[in-house]
């Protein structure tokens, strides 16, 4: 694929698009904030005035968007990708949406003879910047193989999960574990802290023990520093993702008690009087619960 378009230059999209540029991609960009487009133009990208014009200029378009509504608008809107992109092109959604949204876009793409891949990501802004993302892809295998060299410029683990919607499903599995593990990690840190154990030693011991997890490694040091605000791993995003998971849980007739509890805890975390609370700030809610228990 020679002509690549990228839509959405937020916390994740900026790092992803920068990696494409750094690795020699012929890139056209569009986002709602003009200053972000201008910054990419200075780095060698081309600017597009809107989604439809970007579609006309691209053989492969990637989008990293904040929510379901924006994905539907960008892909299916009157001036969206499918209004202008050529048959045989590939469009990819890196956003975290629900499975139904991914399948709706896939079906509409089929009608236009366009390939659609749902390809959500994991690794956070650091992974996006360093090009080490995990990219989980659902959709046509031939289209995936064509797009894979481009995706590998942004991620070190690029996996075809299966048919349409399976990439999105895999992302929801990851978000379920991220939320539950974050709560468990913060419970453990509070437990150790109240028990008088040096928390740096706790993290060191856990690093070679069965109880370790990525959320212990990430969230433990934040708990020690008490730097819970102005995060790039936002509580409000995990709340959004958990709501999607719980809606799907009902459709699948499942019981997910730990996920449900995590959702309630993160909703309370999102109400804290701190700016853009990190997911590790759930520790503050857990501490309040303990304080209430002593009353």
* Integer Cα distance of 7 and 3 in angstroms: 14
DSSP state of 131: T
* Integer Cα distance of 213 and 207 in angstroms: 8
Indicate whether this model's pTM tops 0.95: no
CA-based R_g, the chain, Å? 20
Cβ proximity of 116 and 100 under 8 Å: no
Cβ proximity of 30 and 45 under 8 Å: no
Cα 17–152–123 angle (5° rounding)?
Answer: 70
Sequence-separated (6 or more) residues with CB below 8 Å from residue 57: 3, 5, 28, 46, 48
Element (H, E) at 60: strand 60-63
Per-residue pLDDT of the chain (295 residues; tens, 9 = 90+): 689 999 999 999 999 999 999 999 999 999 999 999 999 999 999 999 999 999 999 999 999 999 999 999 999 999 999 999 999 999 999 999 999 999 999 999 999 999 999 999 999 999 999 999 999 999 999 999 999 999 999 999 999 999 999 999 999 999 999 999 999 999 999 999 999 999 999 999 999 999 999 999 999 999 999 999 999 899 999 999 999 999 999 999 999 999 999 999 999 999 999 999 999 999 999 999 998 766 5
Cα–Cα nearest to 68, from 92, 101, 91, 93 = 101
């Amino acid at each position: 694929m020679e002509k690549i378009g990228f839509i959405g230059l937020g916390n994740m999209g900026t790092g992803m698009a920068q990696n494409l540029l750094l690795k020699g991609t012929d890139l056209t960009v569009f986002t709602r904030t003009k200053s972000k487009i201008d910054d990419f133009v200075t780095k060698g990208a081309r600017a597009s005035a809107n989604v439809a014009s970007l579609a006309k200029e691209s053989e492969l378009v990637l989008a990293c968007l904040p929510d379901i509504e924006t994905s539907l608008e960008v892909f299916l809107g009157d001036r969206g990708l499918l209004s202008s992109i050529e048959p045989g092109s590939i469009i990819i959604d890196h956003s975290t949406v629900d499975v139904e949204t991914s399948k709706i876009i896939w079906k509409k793409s089929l009608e236009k003879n366009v390939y659609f891949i749902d390809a959500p990501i994991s690794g956070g802004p650091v992974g996006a910047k360093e090009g080490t993302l995990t990219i989980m892809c659902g959709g046509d295998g031939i289209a995936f193989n064509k797009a894979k060299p481009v995706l590998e410029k942004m991620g070190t683990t690029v996996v075809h999960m299966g048919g349409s919607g399976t990439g999105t499903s895999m992302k929801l599995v990851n978000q379920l574990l991220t939320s539950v593990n974050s709560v468990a990690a913060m419970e453990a840190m509070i437990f150790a802290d109240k028990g008088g154990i040096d928390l740096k030693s706790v993290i060191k011991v856990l690093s070679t023990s069965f109880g370790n997890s990525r959320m212990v490694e990430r969230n433990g040091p934040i708990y020690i520093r008490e730097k819970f605000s102005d995060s790039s791993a936002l509580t409000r995003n995990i709340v959004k993702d958990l709501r999607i998971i719980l809606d799907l849980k009902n459709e699948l007739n499942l019981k997910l008690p730990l996920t449900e509890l995590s959702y309630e805890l993160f909703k309370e975390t999102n109400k804290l009087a701190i700016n853009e609370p990190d997911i590790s700030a759930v520790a503050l809610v857990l501490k309040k619960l303990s304080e209430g228990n002593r009353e």
